[in-house]
Amino acid sequence: MPNTQTTPLDRPDTRSRRERMVERQIAARGVRDARVLAAMREVPREAFVDDSMQEFAYEDAALPIEAEQTISQPYIVAHMLEAAAVQPDDRVLDVGTGSGYAAALLAWLGDEVYSIERHASLAQSAGERLQALGFENVEIRTGDGTLGWPDAAPFDAILVAAGGPHVPDALRQQLAIGGRLVMPRGDRESQELVRITRRGERDYDEEKLGAVRFVPLIGEQGWLEHRRQGEARDRREGRAERQTTLAERIRAASEPLPDPDDPASGAMFDRFADARIVLLGEASHGSSEFYRARAAITRRLIEQHGFRIVAVEADWPDAAALDRFARDLPPREGAQPPFRRFPRWMWRNTDVEAFIGWLRDHNANLPAAQRVRFRGLDLYSLGASIEAVLAYLEDIDPKLARTARERYGCLTPWQNDPATYARAALDDRYRGCEKGVVNMLGDLLARELDHAAEDPDDWFDAAQNACVVANAERYYRTMYHGAAESWNQRDTHMFETLQQLLRHGGAQARAVVWAHNSHIGDARATGMGRDRGELNIGQLCREHYGDQARLIGFGTDRGTVAAADDWDEPMRVMDVRPSRADSVERLSLDAGRPRSLLDLRPGVHDVLREELSQPRLERFIGVIYRPDTERWSHYSEASLSEQFDAWVWFEETRAITPLPGADRPGKAGLDDTWPFGL
């Protein structure tokens, strides 16, 4: 059993991701064997996948490896290991080395491991990996594993990681008396996991352990290789046939949608106008149709239905600049120009500019108290929010301003690059920042009566900024502990900000929210919630407001999108790949409407809702788009009809047009006077 505690890849964050994988994907599904769970905690799965797959190493899925093969889903590996009941003295045969991950786990659990792989390239790289990780009790060779490894037999346990039509005789023969063989058996499409236990010379027990899907076991006592292509074609055709029927039902239920610029398009959403909150999603942060459709729906909700808050996935101080412009207030003195951090094009684009221009015209005819507000829900503005609180207090309460300066000073070193705070905050010396920012928020809120009387709007703005500072500090601190914690922190902040806005807007206040589908669509109906323990603002709205919150998702098949290759990289216009055959987007495409609205509220199309509650892949493109690893970077499972109350479809979408300079990192060419032009 090698010491895998300190492999070069084994950083604390991957260790905690592994802990979570064991807890949520494996133990939660009933694997109880303490040694198997310990092995899964110790062996670093990320060391067995390609660089481009690193971030998915702890997903609840099989992942692609070389030679068109896969590394199996962690839960299935654990399930097989438990069934094989490998003991510390056992000699084990592993058929289908693949990446070498299962071999490593077997080596951790047993004494000697013999592993066979038919692809020489895989056998070689698996061997190198295992050696680098310090496993010395594994021997790997290239060959046909259906014939076993007679020289090393008998084996106390045999694991076969590919599906065959029957259990190869050679493998049965090479089992020791009392030995266990675990393998998938069935056709090429789907199999059943079976455990064979050898009781005597000719006496074998057989148990069935559930349905599984593995790559085929190709070999003398397995499948023939040449049958593959014809079968793959049959499969594709069979699937297309089944989908067409569901696609037809989607077509029948979905309503053609006019172009977003046609006033009739907003009216199609009147049915959602009795809600208190209408949340509008988007399947990417860079497709013009999504922005224009959201603007059209929002205009309608404002003009015809009295919505007075537009709350968006942007930082509070940035949105505040647009809000002041839209309400004909002067720019706040000393405030930084808005939307200067990556990704600028998300808000500095012609579609947002057109909407803000419309909002300003609309507001111009209204008394100040009735003007529509444009607000930011996000929390990435640590520096700008600190400055905003200080500027406010300097004027109104210089004594408290001094205290604020002292407390916020703790965060000064990280103000411009808060992500690095995550690491520093692990050190006890920096714990003080947390107390300071929380106390600051408390002190400000306690003075509401004194200060809000002067100018309630200014006070509210400062209080929200103090809240952003407190939550951002917590967000960056939790970032190091895992993606789910910090994501939950961020979406909870968004939800609490929305609640503040509704409270501040009075009993009748109603809001439209603009954010990505991943924030809007109920997380409980997606892999985010089901596998990763993540929640989102859509879920929280449903939990608190029931059907007074309506969640509307958006999707597309193909076209172009404004996105970057990586964080802080320049924006590019990229081609969006046509959707995958097994995705919800492909179903929408097959329904054959170029633009449509599918009403998914309970009671409207219940039979179809039931069908669409089956989990299917759905595409999520944020500000980064990676077409090469699209399946792993952008698709995730979701139950569409549970995720959303409606699905808006644009078969083809076009990239947004950034305002000058918004497509490049750095400040060059950026109009710092936007939106005021002053």
Residues that bind ligand SAM (CB under 6 A): 69-72, 95-96, 98-99, 101-102, 116-119, 122, 144-146, 161-162, 214-215, 217-219, 222
Q: Between 157 and 462, name the residue whose CB sits nearer to ligand SAM.
A: 157
Calpha distance 508→157 (Å, rounded): 68
Contacts of 560 (CB under 8 A, 6+ apart): 573, 574, 575, 576, 653, 654, 655
Q: Between 141 and 504, name the residue whose CB sits nearer to ligand SAM.
A: 141
Q: What tokens does 299 get?
A: 């205009």
Any idea which residue has 């500000």 for tokens? 623
- Give phi and psi for 604, each to the nearest 5: -95, -60
Calpha distance 391→66 (Å, rounded): 57
The least CB distance from residue 159 to ligand SAM, in Å, is 8
Cα dist. 449→395, 437, 443, 505, 535 in Å? 16, 21, 12, 18, 35
Q: What tokens does 413 get?
A: 């070193």
Residue 558 near residue 652, CB atoms below 8 Å: yes
Any idea which residue has 């859509």 for tokens? 538
Omega prior to 150 cis, within 30 of 0: no
Calpha distance 356→676 (Å, rounded): 11
Cα dist. 375→38, 322, 414, 562, 567 in Å? 48, 8, 25, 23, 24
Contacts of 209 (CB under 8 A, 6+ apart): 79, 83, 182, 192, 193, 194, 195
Contacts of 416 (CB under 8 A, 6+ apart): 383
The least CB distance from residue 127 to ligand SAM, in Å, is 13
The least CB distance from residue 115 to ligand SAM, in Å, is 8
Q: In sequence order, what DSSP letters do the residues of 635-664 get, joined into one string?
A: EEEE-HHHH-SEEEEEEEE-B--BPTTTTS
The least CB distance from residue 308 to ligand SAM, in Å, is 56
The strand pair at 204-212 and 70-71 is best described as: unpaired
Q: Between 126 and 576, name the residue whose CB sits nearer to ligand SAM.
A: 126
Say which DSSP state 575 is in. E
Residue 522 near residue 545, CB atoms below 8 Å: no
Q: What is the separation of C-alpha 336 from the centre of its chain, rounded to a whole number of angstroms?
A: 31
Q: Between 137 and 243, name the residue whose CB sits nearer to ligand SAM.
A: 137
Calpha distance 58→562 (Å, rounded): 29
- Please return the burial class of 476, using the count of CB atoms within 10 Å of its CB with bins 0-12, 13-18 and 19+: buried
How many other C-beta atoms are found inside a 10 Å radius of the C-beta of residue 656? 28
Q: In sequence order, what DSSP letters do the residues of 158-201 get, joined into one string?
A: EEE-SBBSS--HHHHHTEEEEEEEEEEEE-SS-EEEEEEEE-SS
Q: Catalytic site residues?
A: 72
The least CB distance from residue 580 to ligand SAM, in Å, is 21
What number of residues does the chain have?
678
The strand pair at 70-71 and 63-64 is best described as: antiparallel
Q: In degrees, to the nearest 5, what angle opens at C-alpha 321 toward C-alphas 319 and 322?
A: 65
Q: Between 53 and 623, name the residue whose CB sits nearer to ligand SAM.
A: 53
Q: What tokens does 387 get?
A: 């400055």
The least CB distance from residue 629 to ligand SAM, in Å, is 18
The least CB distance from residue 81 to ligand SAM, in Å, is 11
Pick from 272, 496, 293: nearest CA to 379: 496
Q: What tokens does 662 get?
A: 């918004």
Q: Between 116 and 623, name the residue whose CB sits nearer to ligand SAM.
A: 116
The least CB distance from residue 118 to ligand SAM, in Å, is 4
The least CB distance from residue 67 to ligand SAM, in Å, is 6
Q: Between 40 and 122, name the residue whose CB sits nearer to ligand SAM.
A: 122
The least CB distance from residue 626 to ligand SAM, in Å, is 23
Calpha distance 527→217 (Å, rounded): 30
Q: Between 221 and 636, name the residue whose CB sits nearer to ligand SAM.
A: 221
Q: Between 113 and 513, name the residue whose CB sits nearer to ligand SAM.
A: 113
Q: What tokens does 295 get?
A: 């603007």
Calpha distance 294→289 (Å, rounded): 8
Calpha distance 674→178 (Å, rounded): 76
Q: Between 182 and 440, name the residue whose CB sits nearer to ligand SAM.
A: 182
Q: Between 191 and 385, name the residue whose CB sits nearer to ligand SAM.
A: 191
Q: What tokens does 238 get?
A: 């069979």
Q: Containing H/E element for 15?
A: helix 12-20
Q: Between 51 and 566, name the residue whose CB sits nearer to ligand SAM.
A: 51
When CB distances to ligand SAM are compared, the closest residue is 96
The least CB distance from residue 70 to ligand SAM, in Å, is 5
